Amino acid sequence: MSVDKATVTKIASLARIRMSDGELERMAPELSQILDWVEQLGEVDVSGVEPMTAVIPNSLRLRDDVVDADPLTGGGRREDILANAPAAEHGFFAVPKVIE
Amino acid sequence: MTDLTQLGIKPLRDGVALGEFTAREVAEAFNAAVAGAAALNAFIVTTPDHALDAAGKVDADRAAGKPLGAMAGVPIGMKDLFCTDGVQTTAASHILEGFVPRYESTVSQKLWDAGAGMLGKLNLDQFAMGSSNETSHFGNVSSPWRRAGTNAPMSPGGSSGGSSSAVAARIAPAATGTDTGGSIRQPAAFTGICGIKPTYGRCSRWGVVAFASSLDQAGPMARSVEDCAIMLGAMAGFDAKDATSLKMDVPDWAAGLDGNLAGKTIGIPREYRMEGTDAAILESWERGKEWLRDAGAKIVDVSLPHTKYALPAYYIIAPAEASSNLARYDGVRYGLRDLPDGAGLQDMYAETREAGFGDEVKRRILIGTYVLSAGFYDAYYTQAQKVRALVARDFEQAWAQCDLILAPTTPTASFPLGDKSDDPLAMYLNDVFAVPASLAGLPAMSVPAMQNADGLPLGLQLVGKPFDEQGVLNAGLAIEQRAGFAAKPERWWC
């Protein structure tokens, strides 16, 4: 199955990437070629196979129930967090008006 | 006096410890080499002061009789995918241009704690997506190698192409790399150096710009197996800040190095003998078998029946994870914001991402978005995860017959920049031998084997059982000892 320009337009919109008409025209056959190629996976007999979720068996850990147990990932770092924001005001990230 | 830039990690570290030269002299020599090699475009930013400061501390510690770390006095290149406190970190993208982290990645911090310094941030394929280092926003990286008799710039491989180029050109004794589907091993093979991707979870991913989280692993790139063992030891270890970090002791791989392979069995996977594989690559594989046999190992044929499907499964799984990971680049918290006059929030996202991502990154985000979208999820993503389980099972079954697997690292030698950049699929095929070990999370290494008729390096790959980095390194050492690979690229860049 190939993807046409309309499908690529839809995917690009879902991925929040603006694309010009020219880019869409160019991208559609490239994506089709890649998708046609990955479709060979349909040949593989996967009956009874569970999809892999963890490549090396590992268990999820709970961290110690301590405030700022690791200062690198704890709180109190608002300035550091806002330091790279394109726009920050009053200690918050600033974005264009969302609600009219 | 010796040209310090010709030395690797171990001789530099030992020379500093013995007082043969100072860490400052080492840092100055490499800073000068980096400054003189701009033509390679291996670095996005250089940080000579970082290297000098770290060296000053090592020299002071030595003078004070304090113990020195495993990397003391060794200045290295840092792939620009690792967040470095106060130093721009871009993932070679426009969207992160100007991003200056306020924290240090776990792996880079461990290296500084071990006494290493930083020469600069190394160029790479944008967001580590690419196999030739042609997708960087900051320009292509050139390999120091050229085809005999030609001047065409050659690919250093990717995505860790700045790392491979810098180490091969001897402007850095070693560098960090990351490997998602071959991004340490393929560039190492293209440039005649060593590189190891450890078992998934050995090195913390905290502070490493995420591409495909279930596959991403950091590892060292250096000019000898022993240097890789030393540097991997400094990078690895449990980190509570990475949920998939392995809670295991880090063995002293450097101390455990032993090129005697008596009692070991090496598997040769028959499915890796693919149509279109270069004759010189096949010859290097034959030599590799002989070398390992000479080191005492037994060679057996094994089968990894799902090899053919590993690459297409990878090109569903990796883009799917990337489309999710890269959703964070929205022009709100860091990096680029493109906000046309009067535009709303949704337009801001779409404009920012259009301007900030390169073509290959967009292509993979779109593929990932598509295969995860309603109606296609099971047919693509779930199927790929099942195939991934089968690829891993192939290896598990092979371990009943052998301890390690020997294969070529790449299907061809390096190619001229521009040769494959118009054909995404042809480019993806570069990683056909590297991706299966990535999907299975296994430790895998590339070591230089020989040069082809054009004088270009070829690498051999060793894949081991989970957590058996030692076995991989030992077999790598056995090859290194017998291959006698001493070729260096001719210096054309300065």
Tell me the residues of chain B between 149 and 208 that have a Cβ less than 8 Å away from chain A: 199-201
Q: What are phi and psi of B470, to 5 degrees?
A: -60, -45
Per the CB < 8 Å rule, is A86 touching B331? yes
Q: Which residues of B touch A55 (CB under 8 A)?
A: 200, 214-215, 388, 392, 439-441
Q: Minimal Cα distance from A44: which residue of B?
A: B387
Residues 6+ apart with CB under 8 A from B177: B79, B160, B163, B164, B183, B184, B187, B188, B195, B218, B219, B220, B221
Q: Minimal Cα distance from B315: which residue of A?
A: A38
- Residue A95 CA to residue B15 CA, distance in Å, equals 55
Please check the confidence at residue B450 and state whether its pLDDT lies above 90.
yes
Please check the confidence at residue B12 and state whether its pLDDT lies above 80.
yes
> Taking CA B430 as the corner, what is the angle to CA B424 and CA B433, rounded to the nearest 5 degrees?
135
Q: Which residues of B touch A19 (CB under 8 A)?
A: 354, 362
pLDDT of residue B382: 97
Per the CB < 8 Å rule, is B366 touching A17? yes
Question: Could you report the predicted ipTM of this complex, rounded to two decimals?
Answer: 0.96
* Residue of B142, B143, B159, B204 with catalytic role: B159
Percentage of chain A modeled with pLDDT above 90:
72
pLDDT of residue B1: 62
Is the CB of residue B340 less than 8 Å away from at least one CB of chain A?
Answer: no
- Residue A52 CA to residue B275 CA, distance in Å, equals 29
- Residue A26 CA to residue A77 CA, distance in Å, equals 44
Please check the confidence at residue A1 and state whether its pLDDT lies above 60.
no
Cα distances from A45 to residues A40, A88, B271, in angstroms, run 11, 53, 18
* Residue of B10, B79, B121, B465 with catalytic role: B79
pLDDT of residue B424: 87
Please check the confidence at residue B38 and state whether its pLDDT lies above 80.
yes
Please check the confidence at residue B2 and state whether its pLDDT lies above 90.
no
Average pLDDT, rounded, for chain A:
92
Q: Which residues of A touch B357 (CB under 8 A)?
A: 17
pLDDT of residue B409: 97
pLDDT of residue A70: 85
Please check the confidence at residue B325 and state whether its pLDDT lies above 60.
yes
The tokens for A35 are 């998708």
pLDDT of residue A2: 79
- Residue B329 CA to residue B139 CA, distance in Å, equals 21
Q: Minimal Cα distance from B439: which residue of A?
A: A55
B215-237 mean pLDDT: 98
Please check whether residue B183 is in contact with residue B81, taking contact to mean a CB–CB distance below 8 angstroms.
no
- Provide the residue type at B5 as one letter: T
pLDDT in tens, B359-370: 999 999 999 999
- Residue B450 CA to residue B458 CA, distance in Å, equals 6
Distance from CA of A40 to the nearest CA of B (A): 8
List residues bridging with B447 in a β-sheet. Answer: B460
Is the CB of residue A78 less than 8 Å away from at least one CB of chain B?
Answer: no
Is the CB of residue A67 less than 8 Å away from at least one CB of chain B?
Answer: no
Percentage of chain B modeled with pLDDT above 90:
96
Return the residue in B88, B341, B386, B428 with the most chain A beta carbons within 10 A, the one to mutate for interface testing. B386
Cβ–Cβ contacts within 10 Å for residue B77, how many?
31
- Residue indicated by tokens 């704690």: B113
The CA dihedral of B46, B234, B437, B299, to the nearest 10 degrees, is 120
Angular region, A4: left φ>0, alpha ψ -120 to 50, beta rest: beta
pLDDT in tens, B142-175: 999 999 999 999 999 999 999 999 999 999 999 9
Instruction: Please indicate whether residue B183 is annotated as part of the active site.
Output: yes
Cβ–Cβ contacts within 10 Å for residue B28, how many?
17
Residues 6+ apart with CB under 8 A from B423: none
- Residue B398 CA to residue B162 CA, distance in Å, equals 35
Instruction: Please indicate whether residue B163 is annotated as part of the active site.
Output: no
Per the CB < 8 Å rule, is A16 touching B466? no
Per the CB < 8 Å rule, is A11 touching B373? yes
Tell me the residues of chain A between 25 and 64 that have a Cβ less than 8 Å away from chain B: 27, 30-31, 33-35, 37-42, 44, 46, 49-56, 58, 60-61, 63
Average pLDDT, rounded, for chain B:
97
Per the CB < 8 Å rule, is B246 touching A56? yes
Please check the confidence at residue B263 and state whether its pLDDT lies above 80.
yes
Percentage of chain B modeled with pLDDT above 70:
100
**Position B274 confidence tier, pLDDT thresholds 50, 70, 90:** confident
Closest CA to B285 of B296, B297, B273: B273
- Provide the residue type at B64 as one letter: A
Task: Tell me how many helices (H) and strands (E) chain A has.
Answer: 3, 2
Is the CB of residue A84 less than 8 Å away from at least one CB of chain B?
Answer: yes
Overall residue count recorded for chain B in this entry: 494
Please check whether residue B449 is in contact with residue B278, taking contact to mean a CB–CB distance below 8 angstroms.
no
Per the CB < 8 Å rule, is A17 touching B243? no
Return the residue in B179, B330, B353, B366 with the most chain A beta carbons within 10 A, the one to mutate for interface testing. B366
**SS3 call for B238:** coil
Per the CB < 8 Å rule, is B344 touching A97? yes
- Residue indicated by tokens 């963890």: A54
In this complex, the residue of B241, B313, B351 whose CB is nearest that of residue A72 is: B241
Q: Which residues of A touch B349 (CB under 8 A)?
A: 16
Running DSSP on this structure, what letter comes out for residue B47? Answer: -
Instruction: Please indicate whether residue B79 is annotated as part of the active site.
Output: yes
SS3 content of chain A, % helix, strand, coil (to 5): 40, 5, 60
pLDDT of residue B197: 98
CATH of range B4-260+443-483; options 3.90.1300.10, 3.20.20.140, 3.30.470.10, 3.40.50.300: 3.90.1300.10
The domain locations on chain B are 4-260+443-483
Please check the confidence at residue B270 and state whether its pLDDT lies above 90.
yes
Residues 6+ apart with CB under 8 A from B72: B13, B16, B17, B23, B58, B61, B62, B114, B115, B116
Residues 6+ apart with CB under 8 A from A46: B383, B386, B387, B390
pLDDT in tens, B358-416: 999 999 999 999 999 989 999 999 999 999 999 999 999 999 999 999 999 999 999 99
B424-438 mean pLDDT: 93
Cβ–Cβ contacts within 10 Å for residue B393, how many?
16
Query: What DSSP string describes B414-443?
Result: --BTTSSTT-HHHHHGGGTTTHHHHHTT--
* Residue of B131, B142, B183, B245 with catalytic role: B183
**Position B443 confidence tier, pLDDT thresholds 50, 70, 90:** very high
pLDDT in tens, A8-46: 999 999 999 999 999 999 999 999 999 999 999 999 999
Single pTM value for the model: 0.97
Half-sphere exposure of B182 (CA within 13 A, CB side): 32
B60-83 mean pLDDT: 98
Please check the confidence at residue B303 and state whether its pLDDT lies above 90.
yes
Distance from CA of B253 to the nearest CA of A (A): 21
Please check the confidence at residue B50 and state whether its pLDDT lies above 60.
yes
Residues 6+ apart with CB under 8 A from B401: B265, B267, B300, B302
The tokens for B333 are 């918290």
Running DSSP on this structure, what letter comes out for residue B127? Answer: G
Cα distances from B434 to residues B44, B160, B298, in angstroms, run 26, 14, 23
pLDDT of residue B228: 98
